[in-house]
């Protein structure tokens, strides 16, 4: 079963972005834009993890988190709090909010995804696999190791993240812009041609001799990792 993540965030573009990236990694996602609605929903269903914005209409993230800790059904529910830069950050640090982790806005999506995976690995080890295995290519997220048909593949950190991103949803076609957001993050300005350069390096590293190239260039669209190599 795919881990369920509830995103409680009233900034619609951010909620959409998080949903998109979480679904691309195989999570089941529910987004809610109000604190009071989220409180009601969490009485009906308890996800594996909550991403909770501090400032919400209806009921603040802090108050919602405090209430969750008072109910046996949700007292151990992993909560990652999103906070704005500034004094709130210090208050979050100083205050016992009941959140398990917090991330300061603006954050990079890959950073938040890594925190989500790390937390689920701790709290619910069965729910998240640290190993991706597609068509003879095995990527171990924790050990940061890649092999192809048992042969070690040496990758730089960017190529590793790129491969991890593409292997997360085999067969799915990503535009260069989506690859940039997913691998480099939204806050960093990188030219789309940079994606092509790193795809080139990644191909060089994983393909040997007559091995089939698992990375497909989709003309006018972007890149995709084939399900079978
Ligand atoms: Ca907000």
Q: What are the extents of the domains in the chain?
A: 4-127, 131-225
SS (H, E, C) 27-68: CEEEEECCHHHHHHHHHHCCCCEEEEECCCCCCCHHHHHHHH
Q: Which class is 131-225 in CATH? A: mainly alpha
| CA 66 / ligand 1 centre spacing (Å) | 17
Laid out side by side, the sheet with 145-148 consists of 131-134, 137-140, 145-148, 151-153
Give the H or E element holding residue 107.
none
Residue 203 burial (CB count, 10 A): 14
| CA 83 / ligand 1 centre spacing (Å) | 8
The whole-number pLDDT of residue 88 equals 63
The whole-number pLDDT of residue 92 equals 62
Query: If phi over 0 gives left and psi between -120 and 50 gives alpha, with beta otherwise, what is residue 72?
Result: alpha
| CA 55 / ligand 1 centre spacing (Å) | 4
Decide if pLDDT at 59 tops 60.
Answer: yes
| CA 44 / ligand 1 centre spacing (Å) | 23
| CA 6 / ligand 1 centre spacing (Å) | 15
| CA 84 / ligand 1 centre spacing (Å) | 8
The whole-number pLDDT of residue 1 equals 67
| CA 103 / ligand 1 centre spacing (Å) | 13
| CA 25 / ligand 1 centre spacing (Å) | 24
Dist CA 17 CA 114 (whole Å): 15
Q: Do strands 101-105 and 79-84 pair parallel, antiparallel, or not at all (unpaired)? A: parallel
At residue 106 the predicted structure's pLDDT band, cuts being 50, 70 and 90, is confident
At residue 91 the predicted structure's pLDDT band, cuts being 50, 70 and 90, is low
Residue 111 burial (CB count, 10 A): 12
| CA 152 / ligand 1 centre spacing (Å) | 44
User: Angle formed by the axes of helices 35-44 and 61-70, to 10°?
Assistant: 20
Structure tokens at 134: 């597609």
Please tell me the pTM assigned to this model. Answer: 0.69
The whole-number pLDDT of residue 123 equals 83
At residue 109 the predicted structure's pLDDT band, cuts being 50, 70 and 90, is confident
Report the CATH fold assignment for 4-127: Rossmann fold (3.40.50)
Partnered with residue 101 across adjacent β-strands are 80
Decide if pLDDT at 28 tops 70.
Answer: yes
What is the C-alpha R_g of the chain?
19
Supply φ then ψ for residue 68, to 5 degrees: -60, -35
Residue 229 CB-half CA count within 13 A: 22
């Amino acid at each position: 079963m795919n881990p369920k993540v509830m995103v409680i965030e009233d900034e619609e573009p951010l909620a959409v972005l998080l949903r998109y990236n979480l679904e691309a990694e195989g999570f089941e996602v529910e987004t809610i834009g109000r604190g009071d609605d989220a409180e009601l929903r969490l009485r009906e269903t308890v996800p594996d993890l909550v991403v909770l914005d501090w400032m919400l209409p209806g009921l603040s993230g802090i108050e919602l988190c405090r209430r969750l800790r008072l109910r046996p059904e949700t007292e151990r529910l992993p909560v990652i709090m999103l906070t704005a830069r500034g004094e709130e950050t210090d208050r979050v640090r100083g205050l016992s909010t009941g959140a398990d982790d917090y991330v300061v806005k603006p954050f990079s999506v890959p950073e938040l995804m890594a925190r989500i995976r790390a937390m689920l690995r701790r709290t619910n080890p069965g729910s998240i696999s640290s190993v991706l295995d597609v068509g003879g290519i095995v990527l171990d997220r924790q050990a940061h190791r890649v092999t192809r048909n048992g042969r070690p593949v040496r990758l730089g950190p960017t190529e590793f993240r790129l491969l991890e991103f593409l292997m997360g949803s085999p067969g799915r076609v990503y535009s260069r812009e989506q690859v940039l957001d997913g691998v480099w993050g939204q806050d960093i300005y990188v030219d789309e041609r940079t994606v092509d350069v790193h795809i080139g390096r990644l191909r060089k590293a994983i393909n040997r001799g007559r091995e089939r190239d698992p990375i497909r260039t989709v003309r006018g669209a972007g890149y995709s990792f084939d399900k079978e190599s």
